[in-house]
Amino acid sequence: MLHVLFNESDSTRLKEVQALDPALDGPIVLIRDDYAVGPLHALDTPAGQQSRLDWWKSCFEKTAFGAIPSVPIVNDAQEVAAIQEWLENDLSGECWIWMAQNQHDVAGYYWLISQLKNWQGRIHILYLNNLPFINEKGQLFYPNWLEEIPAREFLKAKKLARPVTPSEFEIDPDEWNKLMIDNAGVRILEGGKKLLGKDFTYFDADIKRLLSKEWQRALRVIAQTQAKMKVKTGDVFLQWRLAQLATEGLIESNGKWEKGWKELDIRLLVGDNSSLGQQDQ
């Protein structure tokens, strides 16, 4: 079988699981783009794909990672081609798509599924939605990310694999088309596989909530934001949003952007008691 995942850390965990259960052996394909953020308009066309790549480049340029090509360029289309080739060469092989209950995995699934329609019956899904597992301390918990599940517990999940139904192959690509037309800045998981579009500013409140009138290192604020935010998103997107907040005059920086993020300090505007408010739920 071939496995499809949407996070690097999930890939590491699945390799641990494969070591425990040889029945799960098989190549792992990683879909790397985060389709839960950024433009999706006409993403099924070369122009739309270039527009999204240009947006990601503009984000990286404003972050501690620097401009592409210093950062590896994602090529998910190449990964899909590899999946399709594998399915063509192994006529009895199954493709298992693993998802946890988060907008990142679900958005990646929607982007992917219409491209595998020719192999109905051989495409399986494992969606760990509202399912309890036992953590390392022996406590019951509901994971939002696959990497949170201990390897021994992961073994239980394989029993949940089921074929993607003909109905899903019809409905889910339509849902992806709706997401492209909506073209929201952010997509969050409302429940089940339902994604809800939000503005690019959706996570700004999480950033500003950790700021005060005292100077703080920008990277420290980003790390704390990721640790404490209820709905998670990537550090590149958060750093880009922080830079946007400074550009728009909504927060204050020490102006050392050209020296890199290691020396960049930020704070709330002195005399500003306003708040960005809570995200819409």
pLDDT confidence of residue 273? 53
Question: Burial, 73: exposed, middle or buried (Cβ in 10 Å; 0-12, 13-18, 19+)?
Answer: exposed
pLDDT confidence of residue 257? 74
pLDDT digits (tens, 9 = 90+) for 91-112: 999 999 999 999 999 999 999 9
Give all strands (DSSP E) within 106-161, no chain letters: 123-128, 133-134, 140-141
| Contact of 184 with 201, CB cutoff 8 Å | no
**C-beta neighbour count of 30 within 10 angstroms:** 16
pLDDT confidence of residue 94? 97
pLDDT confidence of residue 4? 98
Phi and psi of 178, rounded to 5°?
A: -65, -40
Three-state DSSP at 18 gives helix
Q: Which three-class secondary structure string do you get for 21-43?
A: CHHHCCCEEECCCCCCECCCCCC
Q: Which is it for strands 216-217 and 265-267: parallel, antiparallel or unpaired? A: antiparallel
pLDDT digits (tens, 9 = 90+) for 146-195: 999 999 888 888 888 999 999 999 999 999 999 999 999 999 999 899 99
Question: Burial, 140: exposed, middle or buried (Cβ in 10 Å; 0-12, 13-18, 19+)?
Answer: exposed
3-state DSSP: the chain helix, strand, coil percent, rounded to 5?
Answer: 45, 15, 35
Instruction: Using 70 as the pLDDT threshold, list the residues of the chain that sit under it.
Output: 67-73, 258, 271-281
What are the residues whose beta carbons fall under 8 Å from the beta carbon of 19, sequence distance 6 or more? none
Residue with tokens 């596989």: 193
pLDDT confidence of residue 278? 46
Residue with tokens 């517990």: 153
Looking at the DSSP bridge assignments, the partners of residue 217 are: 265
pLDDT confidence of residue 69? 57
Question: Which residue type does 128 have?
Answer: L
pLDDT confidence of residue 281? 42
Question: Burial, 277: exposed, middle or buried (Cβ in 10 Å; 0-12, 13-18, 19+)?
Answer: exposed
The full DSSP string for 104-127 is: HHHHHHHHHHGGGGGGTTTEEEEE
